[in-house]
Structure 1
């Protein structure tokens, strides 16, 4: 049932939002050189890597690391990228990953493969048994303001208690968190 809902929602949102995708693509290209989309290998369900899609928010010379690992991430973020990150619009292309079945709308955030500590904690608590999501329990409980241990614990809690009602609650809370820019540090977004 969850996969069916993800498929319908991602298809409808991609169909509705394609003009916004086009506007953002042009804006990104006008702001800096490089591709419109950022693609990066992330850890998926059952420890299988996949390529995630996001709108590019950094200059093409930025290191391939989690942004939180940078000493001075602001110097790599484009002008448009700063706004895309603050508004979370950089995440919209992940709807393609949802449509392809690599992600879900709700689930643990997909981590880069170098984030061994959190990946290990997730493995122990069973969080990798579900598809990663565009948003999840850890995001609505603090996003960038929670520790790695807390993130992994929330991800495990989500995987162990998967319900449609919880997904609806997380969607609702995510919407208002994004509108109010709660729980995010612009330079630390991954």
Structure 2
């Protein structure tokens, strides 16, 4: 969670656009310490409280379809580090190999149970483990797959100064991302094209704004907004 010295950042992140956001975060080092402290305490408490949910959903998934309980896809977090995200599995086995990395409305790969837990966002709960391990934070830019991070502009790379997050203002406004993407899909536009050209830039506006306004109070407000 602690901010590295500028010289210690990965070379691909060292540009003038990232430097602007780095300088902002450099003045908020105490807030970053509080943010990590909050993540550790809150994730431990939630793991205990939500243990019955973990057990119930796990059994539900196993009874519904073949495959593991958790979906472990590689994502990118702070400083471009690769990690494996924890999510309850909502799709058929090998879904990534038989379709896009982005899900669309009425995606045939989604299981019956998966459809229900996706609507309530219960599938995101296991990411509490990623938070505890320091790979994610409660609030921050949603972790992308390497393919989409490769499409980031110089300014978008500034979001990698912080750990990826479970929720954000962008996550709230784009909670029905699959429906939004479906509206733009045509014969000439694939799911990936629509996401990279239409959705990603809009989401990043909110993510970059968050860096400028970062604070523990802001995080608490976003967590409450997410629950509501």
1:89 aligned to 2:122? yes
Determine the structure 2 residue equivalent to 1:172: 224
Which whole-Å CA distance do the structure 2 matches of 1:31 and 1:122 have between them? 43
Larger Rg: 2
165, 171, 175: which is aligned to 1:133?
Answer: 165
67, 78, 94: which is aligned to 2:111?
Answer: 78
Q: CA deviation at 1:121?
A: 3.2
1:63 aligned to 2:96? yes
Unaligned runs of 5+ in 1: 177-190
Q: CA deviation at 1:61?
A: 3.4
201, 213, 217: which is aligned to 1:161?
Answer: 213
Aligned to 2:223, the other structure's residue is in SS state: helix
Determine the structure 2 residue equivalent to 1:49: 82
Which whole-Å CA distance do the structure 2 matches of 1:136 and 1:60 have between them? 28
Q: CA deviation at 1:125?
A: 5.6
TM-score normalized by the length of structure 1? 0.84
Are the counterparts in 2 of residues 58 and 78 from structure 1 also a CA contact under 8 Å?
yes
Are the counterparts in 1 of residues 76 and 149 from structure 2 also a CA contact under 8 Å?
no
Determine the structure 1 residue equivalent to 2:187: none
Which stretch of structure 1 is more off in the superposition, 59-68 or 36-45? Answer: 59-68
1:104 aligned to 2:137? yes
Are the counterparts in 1 of residues 73 and 84 from structure 2 also a CA contact under 8 Å?
yes
Write the deviation string for residues 74-94 of structure 1: whole angstroms up to 9, x where unpaired. 211000000010010000000
Q: CA deviation at 1:160?
A: 2.4
Determine the structure 2 residue equivalent to 1:11: 44
The change in CA–CA distance for 1:122 and 1:10 in structure 2 (over 3 A counts) is farther
21, 24, 30: which is aligned to 2:63?
Answer: 30
Say how many residue pairs are matched: 173
TM-score normalized by the length of structure 2? 0.71
* RMSD of aligned residue pairs (Cα, Å): 1.9
